[in-house]
Structure 1
């Protein structure tokens, strides 16, 4: 059973047959007394009796809910029956602990808690043809202790009524904080114990709507962005009262940039504004300089599975159904479940930084915490092979008697999603396992803080993205105008210097500096595969001690392929010092093209850079108007051209012809040179 206080309205055949028999036997015994006026006697609530009559379903439910609240138990509707005409004939309201425990957990090691005790306390209600609701039978005895002081925590009793919702909204408009709002409800009730709902329910009422100014600012921003470029995308999720609940949007440049750098994305949530407690959820990637770039942004009503599924599906629709190859998220079961459902073919990784930050909270109370923390970090960061990690982890659990620690159990079960030795064989575009994933905290630095309102955020959003565009433009210029000096005379270094951006080339030079700490030795040869062992001296975290790390490197001389056990190339797209040491040993002068990734090259022309003026208003700019007309068409044509080789070749030919005609038009306008492109340019697109 999934609910802890309410049962599902399952019609149990035996229960219905029993109720039918009871109804027939009680039909002539009932002393009908009209309780339509009020079954409450002063502050007391009269005990249910057979014969009580109510005028509506809501009235009898409210009566029994109030009786249960005073007695100290929760209420659930356990059975119902309709006639041949489809009209309801009778139902039962029972103690929420009615029924037996039925576990739906996937594994017996993680059973879900249950409150079910097979309690028989209930009332049977018959519905007459004239619309009266009559209690036909009453069972008052419970088989468990009652808790009158705790009934406000029962799920059925925690709903905020219409009066409470109106008051919460009025307090919102008056600028009263959530904490003050809760205190005002408690003061009116006399104390928190008398309050039928908690701060969570009050917060939910606040979260279910945006302020008028905030919602208006958001919608105005969306309309303005669409007027700048029709490729601006947004989706809005509303509640039952048509108030904004969840929002997602992505501008034309973000969508176009996903074509170039959407192989890996990072996703996490962090609170944007205290006023509405709405999490900001950006989708972030990295460009060819290793800089963070935005692929879309969401504002969420809550942080449950349904909300994340809505957001991920909205983002996937925006990106034309193209899932990322890899995605990094925080350790959150709701997010993990949603990623599995919406991105089933994407490699999912949990943020190691966030997991390690939880150590004091999860293990801080243990007597040997410092030793456990030190041991755990060594196991996580220094394991070279998966088997090494598993053996060391299980030994640590045994040594410190941690077999019953549920958090460590769950981490071990999810080890393939966060431990470096398990995730390093997948490309993560330089998103380090040991640092916090790119997120709002870095992407919107200097533009957002804990006091930022949604309206202010919308106003600053364009400024933040313009700043990112400027930084990328400057990095592009620097990579073409400035050449980083080589630190060796290796032709391999020269090769990467010529093609990689400066920021990525610096990372490769870091590997070259590490060569002095590496010692390679030949182990064996099997066919065309030679095995080497590279021993690296690594300085400890204390800055004093040194330790020796051994890495196995395989080299295929026929295909000039090298693979290291550290998997740096697979993880970051940069050859590691261990692999380079073997290439040097084998006198390789130039690495094959498959070791030079296009995503890190500085000489690649990327389509999103053609999306201009997305974050500025230039109403009279004729070039911008033309760009707005052409960009969506180019985007669609590009998508059609990538479907197959034949389509791609056709598109290349057609674009070549279009380019020649445009150049001819330009030549005629300025009366200079020939009216056709020169032969050497005809083959360029």
Structure 2
């Protein structure tokens, strides 16, 4: 073996190896340390033989078929010696960060010791579960809070000190919410644990169109009081920033709580549940095509409130529904389910809570009716880690190459490929291709007409279809006008950051003006979480490379010294010490209990025959009201941890 193989000097020219495999490893080791992956080029042979005369290894940058990456190395073989005779270290793309280099294709491998390490860690986690489930769960949460200063949990107990409701989220979920918490899907259709508690998930969608979980909770019952407690706790954990839109099943107790806690949030109902339940109220009209057409149009295909009203009136009069109780009730809440009323608000064009139910299906596969709460939380954390690994892989894929474009020479499509993630680019490209098929022609008013307003001075544009307002991506009608005006870039005001490759950069930055009216404690919590998020991101980027770790440590130590000097000048040391004492108050002190008092397990809720299956929504239940559990009337207290 050649000693030069382990040498990581920047200039590989004239280095030698003695086999093709050694030559590959020489360049691959250099590539992985630098931050790119490699692939083999076509070999050149000695005339009349199968002996290699020259072999190139290239940067395996994907997606740039027009402008090839210039980085390569060429080995020339003489007397079984592979010598580097040409070497170009230049790249036309961003190199992988140290934390991403294990994802490089030519470096993807996992050693047996590392695999054994993963198994050992999981075994250790499972051994932490004790017989007393509730206290074990609290101990796990406290441990997680030590590991993650932004970890949040809060617990409700009854008068007998039994756990009833609780919610938790880690620091990463808070960061995700800051970037993608504009639309939240809330679902309570999952109930699989030994206490038959209701699992409630807060789910969103990230910049790769993937599910992202903001928090998880368990509830003893589905009363307005429980939902109010849960929503207030969730809001408190997220710095009191409400989502723009929240999607839920149709449940009156849930609606009451949302109206009070999320008063400025658009509440939308899951159309899938409505469509599934509606046939039970229509009888033989379920087979009437004209009625079904009008009903479906009211749900999803009206462009305006006026069009909805005209369609609704036609349906009600045509089929004598003036006294129909269910339809009259639905009309009163039409703004929550008809898309005619949602076009001006950002909804990511969701029409159902399927996002959350997909995640519930994943959770259903890791649990059964005998699982303990602590065990569930540990498995939930494993699912969460897998989801985040998928996001990390997609981040890496987007940064490593531009997506394939259907139209190579389009400036505006090329710009979209640069700024959007791969998945969002495909959505944009679909609209762009549709814009090429639009023809300028006179149509009669029985057909769908789109009105586009364009200001060529500032490139402001609006379309009556409202796609940008609801989805954050320009529609084909607007893009048709841009093509007509020869615009080669998407105007900056129409690039929504949450859909871009840069979506997560700087999302934890603290803005003083946003909290000027908040109370002092709330502002301090938001500021602290913001700074922790920034520090955590910087430290994560530094891991895996000694030089980056050294830079990170040097800057942080220098910052500490600077803060210390400025603090001394301001004479604020006393205030800092006082705040630190408050920050470390224990949970037992907040509750007013002595340290030896333990939290007891939740009461077991009587099963209604629903175990592994999803819970039915409000209107799927046969009875209008279910009997309330006796435990729901107990007076509740709560603990708050952050």
Q: What's the TM-score bracket when you normalise by the shorter of the two chains?
A: 0.5 to 0.7
How big is each residue's C-alpha offset from its partner over 1:105-128, in whole Å with a ceiling of 9 and x where there is no partner? xxxxxxxxxxxxxxxxxxxxxxxx
Q: Distance in 2 between matches of 1:463 and 1:423?
A: 36
How big is each residue's C-alpha offset from its partner over 1:626-660, in whole Å with a ceiling of 9 and x where there is no partner? xxxxxx99973575899xxxxxxxxxxxxxxxxx9
* Larger radius of gyration between Structure 1 and Structure 2: 1
> What pairs up with 1:141-290 in 2 under 5 angstroms?
213-273=132-192, 275-290=194-209
How big is each residue's C-alpha offset from its partner over 1:309-329, in whole Å with a ceiling of 9 and x where there is no partner? 000011111112222222222
Range moving further from structure 2, 334-343 or 409-418: 409-418
> What pairs up with 1:249-648 in 2 under 5 angstroms?
249-273=168-192, 275-364=194-283, 371-428=290-347, 430-433=348-351, 435-442=352-359, 445=362, 447-448=365-366, 451=369, 453-455=371-373, 456-488=375-407, 489-521=409-441, 548-606=447-505, 636-637=527-528, 639=530
How big is each residue's C-alpha offset from its partner over 1:565-595, in whole Å with a ceiling of 9 and x where there is no partner? 1111111111111111111122222221011
- Residue 496 of structure 1: CA displacement? 0.8
- Residue 247 of structure 1: CA displacement? 0.8
- Residue 379 of structure 1: CA displacement? 3.4
Q: Distance in 1 between matches of 2:229 and 2:191?
A: 19
How big is each residue's C-alpha offset from its partner over 1:143-163, in whole Å with a ceiling of 9 and x where there is no partner? xxxxxxxxxxxxxxxxxxxxx
Given that 1:237 and 1:247 are in contact with CA atoms closer than 8 Å, whether structure 2 keeps it comes out as yes
CA change 1:587–1:608 in 2 (3 A) is closer
Which residue is 1:144 aligned to? Answer: none
Given that 1:348 and 1:417 are in contact with CA atoms closer than 8 Å, whether structure 2 keeps it comes out as yes
CA change 1:369–1:377 in 2 (3 A) is same
Which residue is 2:620 aligned to? Answer: none
Given that 1:316 and 1:322 are in contact with CA atoms closer than 8 Å, whether structure 2 keeps it comes out as yes
Given that 1:383 and 1:389 are in contact with CA atoms closer than 8 Å, whether structure 2 keeps it comes out as yes
Range moving further from structure 2, 510-519 or 486-495: 510-519
Given that 2:247 and 2:269 are in contact with CA atoms closer than 8 Å, whether structure 1 keeps it comes out as yes
How many residue pairs get aligned? The number is: 398
Q: Distance in 2 between matches of 1:440 and 1:452?
A: 21
- Residue 451 of structure 1: CA displacement? 4.1
Q: Distance in 1 between matches of 2:223 and 2:290?
A: 36
- Residue 227 of structure 1: CA displacement? 2.6
Q: Distance in 2 between matches of 1:571 and 1:387?
A: 19
**Structure 1 length normalisation: TM-score?**
0.53
Given that 1:305 and 1:335 are in contact with CA atoms closer than 8 Å, whether structure 2 keeps it comes out as yes
> What pairs up with 1:642-681 in 2 under 5 angstroms?
663=551, 666=554
CA change 1:504–1:229 in 2 (3 A) is same
CA change 1:330–1:521 in 2 (3 A) is same
CA change 1:307–1:637 in 2 (3 A) is closer
Given that 1:363 and 1:369 are in contact with CA atoms closer than 8 Å, whether structure 2 keeps it comes out as no
Q: Distance in 1 between matches of 2:504 and 2:293?
A: 47
**Structure 2 length normalisation: TM-score?**
0.57
How big is each residue's C-alpha offset from its partner over 1:497-530, in whole Å with a ceiling of 9 and x where there is no partner? 10110011011111123235422359xxxxxxxx
CA change 1:297–1:498 in 2 (3 A) is same
Given that 1:534 and 1:552 are in contact with CA atoms closer than 8 Å, whether structure 2 keeps it comes out as no
Q: Distance in 2 between matches of 1:577 and 1:238?
A: 54
Structure 1, gaps ≥5 residues long: 1-210, 523-532, 536-546, 611-631, 643-659, 670-685
Structure number with the bigger relative contact order (C-alpha 8 A, sep ≥ 6) is 2
Which residue is 1:106 aligned to? Answer: none
Given that 2:424 and 2:499 are in contact with CA atoms closer than 8 Å, whether structure 1 keeps it comes out as yes
CA change 1:534–1:214 in 2 (3 A) is farther
Q: Distance in 2 between matches of 1:333 and 1:271?
A: 18
Which residue is 1:153 aligned to? Answer: none
Range moving further from structure 2, 222-231 or 466-475: 222-231
CA RMSD of aligned residues (A): 3.5
Range moving further from structure 2, 327-336 or 305-314: 327-336
